Amino acid sequence: MSPADADKSDKNGIEYFHIPDFTLAGGTTLKDVKIAYRSFNPTAPRTVLIPTCMGGRVNSMLNFTSGALRDYHVVVVAMIGNGESTSASNDPHFPSDYSLRYEDCVRAQFQLVTAHLHLSELEAVIGFSMGGQQAYYWAVMHGTGPQPFVRNVVVICGSAKTSGHNYAFIEGPISALETSSDYARGRYREMGVKPVQGLRAFGRAYAAWLTSAEWFRQELWTQFGARSLKEWLYPAEGEAPFEDWDAEDLLVLARMWQSGDVGSLVPAGDYRTALETVTARVLVMPSLTDQYFDAHDGEEEVKHLKKGVFAPIPTIWGHVAGGGANETDTKWVDGKIEEFLSGQ
d(CA 259, CA 100): 9
List the one residue out of 318, 317, 321, 320 whose CA is nearest residue 336.
321
Buried b (16+ CB within 10 A) or exposed e, 312-328: bbebbbbbbbbbbbbee
Q: Which is nearer to a second copy, 150 or 295 (CB)?
A: 295
Q: What is the CA radius of gyration of the chain?
A: 19
Cβ–Cβ under 8 Å, residues 137 and 131:
no
Q: At its nearest, how many Å lie between a second copy and the CB of residue 280?
A: 26
Q: Which is nearer to a second copy, 171 or 276 (CB)?
A: 171
Q: At its nearest, how many Å lie between a second copy and the CB of residue 68?
A: 30
List the one residue out of 164, 166, 159, 169 whose CA is nearest residue 298.
159
d(CA 133, CA 162): 9
Q: At its nearest, how many Å lie between a second copy and the CB of residue 100?
A: 18
Q: At its nearest, how many Å lie between a second copy and the CB of residue 77?
A: 30
Q: At its nearest, how many Å lie between a second copy and the CB of residue 87?
A: 24
Q: Which is nearer to a second copy, 15 or 182 (CB)?
A: 182
Q: Which is nearer to a second copy, 91 or 178 (CB)?
A: 178
Q: Which is nearer to a second copy, 90 or 179 (CB)?
A: 179
Residues near a second copy (CB under 8 A) are 163-165, 167-169, 171-173, 175-176, 178-181, 184-185, 197-198, 200-201, 204-208, 212-213, 215-217, 219, 229, 233, 291-292, 294, 296
Element (H, E) at 139: helix 130-142
Residues 6 or more apart whose Cβ sits within 8 Å of residue 264 = 101, 103
